[in-house]
Amino acid sequence: MSTEEIEVDLTVNGESHAVTVEPRELLAQTLREKLNCRGINIGCESSSCGACTVQYNGKSLKSCTRFTAQSDGADIVTIQGLANDGTLTELQRAFTENHALQCGYCTPGIIMAVDEYLSENPDPSRTEIRSEALQGNLCRCTGYQNIVDAIEVAADRRNTE
C-alpha cells in the first residue's frame, strides 16, 4: 500500500470487504471493478444519469458522487443484493412483466432509486412517479411510459401484500 492509499471497510450486499483505494477513487469504480458489482453501470460520472445508483445506509445514492475513501463503514446494497434468496422483488417483477426496459443500462439504477422512494412514498400518483421517483434517473430508450406503468403496478402490489 502506498502512502497515498487508504484502507476502507465496506459492507456490500451483506458481506464485509476491506479495500485499498487511492484517495480520488469513486465508490462506483470500487464497487464495479474491485467488488464485482457488475449491476452498477457507469454512465456520465457526473451525477446526471443515475445509472450508478445504489442504496447507501438505506438511502439511494449515485455512487459516482462519492469517493470510496469517504465511505468507511458504509452499508451498501446494489441491484445484485436486492432479490431475496433469488426471489425478485415486486418492483423487479413488475419491470419484467411490463417491458419496462430496452437496453437495460438505466434499469438497475432506476430500480434501486425507486425501491427506496416507494418505502417512503408507498402510494405515488403517476405524476409523482415521473416528477419525484424518477427525477434522478435518465432512460434513453423507453420514453418512460412502461417504467411508470411498472412502478404503479409494484406500488399497488406492495400496498396489498
Instruction: Point out which residues bind ligand FES (CB under 6 A).
Output: 28, 42-45, 47-52, 62, 64, 101-106, 139-142
CB 61, min distance to ligand FES, A: 10
Tell how strand 74-77 and strand 6-12 pair up. parallel
CB 104, min distance to ligand FES, A: 5
CB of 150 or CB of 153, closer to ligand FES: 150
Question: 76 near 11, Cβ under 8 Å?
Answer: yes
The beta-carbon contacts of 17-21 under 8 Å, at least 24 apart in sequence, are 19/68, 21/68, 21/69
CB 144, min distance to ligand FES, A: 9
CB 158, min distance to ligand FES, A: 23
Provide the residue type at 131 as one letter: S
C-alpha of 32 from chain center: 12
Length of the chain: 161
CB of 8 or CB of 54, closer to ligand FES: 54
CB of 101 or CB of 114, closer to ligand FES: 101
CB of 49 or CB of 129, closer to ligand FES: 49
Query: Directed axis angle between helix 90-97 and helix 107-120, to 10°?
Result: 130
